[in-house]
Amino acid sequence: MNVDQSVDLEAKEELRLSDSSVSTSSFPMYDYVGFSCGKTLENRRIVKIETEGNGSAVGTASKEPEGIEAAGTYKWPAGTILELTAIAGEQHRFVEWRWTDGGPSTTSTVPITVLKDMTITAVFEKET
């Protein structure tokens, strides 16, 4: 494998390879994103969106995949802005959002910028 030039992956967020026979399985933390004078691999962050209690999390992302329909594990490039909304289930209320190196936030809709792998949790509790 020949790398065109040495790059700082944290700063550039991509790695360009000149050898078309290199597969993305050689770099499991990167996703193949297209051709640009060779293969381009984009460094994606793993984001786990979870709920605690009876409720759901939905929202949008500024980059693909754009729709967030439920809790789950997603992959976005660093810098992606998420707009998440917590929806309480029957007889429950939203308490807060918690996320890696951030939060909590008690507003039901919150913007979060993806900078690294992270877990985001919407917390709900039973109404009294």
Please give the pLDDT value at position 31. Answer: 52
2: in domain: no
The total number of structural domains that make up the chain: 2
State the pLDDT at residue 102: 84
Q: Is residue 49 part of a domain?
A: yes
Look up the domain containing 88 and give its range.
45-126
pLDDT given for residue 3 in this prediction: 42
Q: Which residues lie below 8 Å from residue 6, measured CB to CB, with a gap of 6+?
A: none
* Mean pLDDT per 10-residue interval, the chain, length 128 residues: 41 43 48 49 87 96 90 94 96 96 92 95 95
Q: 40 and 9 in contact (C-beta within 8 Å)? A: no
Do 82 and 31 fall within a single domain? no
Q: Are residues 31 and 91 in the same domain?
A: no
- In this structure, are 69 and 97 located in the same domain? yes
pLDDT (0 to 100) of residue 46: 95
